[in-house]
Amino acid sequence: MNLLALATTFFLVFDPFGNVAVFHSILSKLPEERRRRVLIREMVIALVVMLIFLIGGGQLLGFLGLKPATLSISGGIILFLIALGMLFPARAMVTAEDDEEPFIVPMAIPMFAGPSAIALLLLTTTKYPGELLSIGAAVGLAWTASAVILLFSPLLMRFLGRKGTRALERLMGLLLILVAVQMFLDGLAVYQSSFAP
């Protein structure tokens, strides 16, 4: 397992550049001194959720009777749809209602630790069941890089502007499409091999 490649894939799925503008919009209704603390709290919650699935994901899949090929194919489809949304954004901005402080939803889940990240994590733990520490390290690296980008998002927004962050998100979406297609093809190959004589 290539630790750096896996960390990069998680980083693409976390999509920090795509979340910069949305997180900024959600937090803009809060007092400035609260924004950083809320962001850190939500990021830590997202990391805890990911670690829970890292530790208990294998048991969950076994309980549901899901095979690696099923997870790989469905994960590839989910990643592909997420990547299409990054390339061709048509979603409306998510905003907090009134002055309500966001808690878990929507920032930690599903915008950061969303279905695509959890599917990728479950697939990876199924594929490499004996390397949970390495997978956890990859998640930690991707989470740290994403957290730094989001914590410095006001500076990033001033430096790159909305067009610059949108361009970076589309580049990440393009790379994620390649990962999604490969994941889908790997799942098909495993599925077909199960019928081979």
Least confident piece of the model among 11-15, 183-187, 192-196: 192-196
Average pLDDT of the residues of the chain = 83
Query: What is the tally of structural domains in the chain?
Result: 1
- pLDDT higher than threshold 60 for residue 91: no
Can you tell me whether residue 167 is helix, strand or coil? helix
Distance in angstroms (rounded) separating the CA atoms of residues 132 and 51: 10
Q: Looking at the predicted structure, is the pLDDT value of residue 96 above 60?
A: no
Report yes or no on whether pTM surpasses 0.85. Answer: no
Q: Has residue 170 been placed in a domain?
A: yes
CA distance 106 to 19: 11
The answer as to whether 62 is a domain residue is yes
More confident residue, 19 or 39: 39
Whether residue 197 is contained in a domain is answered as no
Give the domain range for residue 129: 3-192
pLDDT for 74: 82
CA 105/CA 116 separation, integer angstroms: 16
Assess if residue 88 is contained within a domain: yes
> Do the domain assignments include residue 47?
yes
Structure tokens at 97: 């209602």
148 phi and psi, to 5 degrees?
-60, -45
Confidence of residue 196 (pLDDT cuts 50, 70, 90): low
**70 within some domain:** yes
Predicted confidence band at 61 (pLDDT cuts at 50, 70, 90)? Answer: confident
State the pLDDT confidence band at 92, using cuts at 50, 70 and 90.
very low
